[in-house]
Amino acid sequence: MMRKALMGILMMCAGMAQADEVVIAALGDSLTQGYGLPQADGFVPQLQNWLDGQGAEARLINAGVSGDTTAGGLARVGWTLEPEVDAMIVTLGGNDLLRGLDPTQARNNIEGILKAAQAADVDVLLIGMQAPGNFGAEYKAEFDKIYPELAEAYGALYLESFFVGLVEEGAQIDPVALRDWLQADGIHPNAKGVTRIVEGVGPRVLDLIDAVKLGD
């Protein structure tokens, strides 16, 4: 009887611990997915380790798909927002830029993602992207303002850039200057680069966890 009672208490405590855990889906492209890296060295596993080291009660789900555009993210956000998901990190737009897609389409897609999260009562950290200058000043201005404007409109937390741990605020990605932190393609971070990125993104994810807990 004593053993059964003890087991019951332990199971109840385990259930309470899981209830306190914040489940975060990381919706993104190859940067989120961990392209070109062993699984343990990717963004989501490294961020999970960083959060564990901070004592955060959170569990990350890797919802990154290599090559995904904002349209792809919108198409799969419904099944990404499972009932267990409390929050979402959205990092999309890089492949829209590589293809020179219309900023208006990107805006509409990201807004659709934010609307879906809002309907599911899921808090969001929206990570921005900055267009290169080769598409022209007008294109860059239209694209760059998507993220801060939508974050404000939908009450999402905002971080200017995924590469915040590698470059100063407002600076463009320079593959030559960052060659020690990037893979040979000059686009995707290597394991050391991901570590630096996590150090930059991590504090904002802690803010996201706090936002979820304050809303409970």
Catalytic residues: 30, 185, 188
d(CA 204, CA 84): 21
Kind plus residue range of the DSSP H or E element containing 158: strand 157-159
103 C-beta neighbours (distance < 10 Å), count = 22
Q: Which of 111, 85, 93 is nearest to 21 (CA)?
A: 85
Instruction: Report CA torsion sign: 181, 97, 78, 115.
Output: positive
**DSSP readout, 117-149?**
HHHTT-EEEEEP----GGG-HHHHHHHHTHHHH
SS3 content of the chain, % helix, strand, coil (to 5): 55, 15, 35
